[in-house]
Structure 1
Amino acid sequence: MNDKQNHLLELVMFDISYVISNCDYEYSSDEKKYLNVILDRYNDEDKELLKLRTQFLDSILEKGINEVKKFVVNLSKSLKNKIDDDMKIAYLELFKEVIMLDESVHENERILYRLLCKQWEQNSSI
């Protein structure tokens, strides 16, 4: 993958992580730390763009779980043939870690995780 493709992949994974971590409509301090770790990797200009992106993602979250599911399905379909099974498994593990940050699994998180597993033809471990 070239740099542009890697950057786009990173943004899509950020989007998925963000909506998964916030689909329980509770924002734990560990989830906030996770977001800050991601943001710290970017320069100020890119941080501002990511903050705008989170506002867009928040607008999707505000529409409810059905809209979030559609969003995640569209993102996961766009990636299905662009990443291999090892990357899918690695990203699913990352998403699982994000879900477990607040030490509980909300039903919406379970739904989205299983949806990703189904899209990527992987077994769900949640």
Structure 2
Amino acid sequence: MAPPYETSAASESPAPVVTVDVTAASDLITSAGHRYVDVRTEEEMGKGHLHNSLNVPFMFITPQGREKNPLFVEHFSSLVSKEERVVVGCQSGKRSELACVDLMAAVSSSVINQWIDMSVVCV
């Protein structure tokens, strides 16, 4: 298995990632107009995902284990404008938190991490 992912800002003190629960995230998406970006793999998305969500995998599953998507920020930036407000989610919250750290370091959009219980939010 690949070594655990470390952010490039590990030695610095990155801005804290705002984490919200499923209910708050749902309110942000439906009422406040936030865009939902799911950072799970395409295979995981195939098992269920939120309607109108974007998929930008943060990691890929390779024969060596999970490896970070080297083009994650570029792919994200090509789909989401810097002015948009975004909720980033995954299955457990770990990948989305790492993704938020990278996005906050590279993109000036407002990103919020969400932990998802797929049985509750998936439509």
Task: Tell me the TM-score normalised to structure 1 length.
Answer: 0.36
Indicate the structure with greater strand content.
2
Indicate the structure with greater helix content.
1
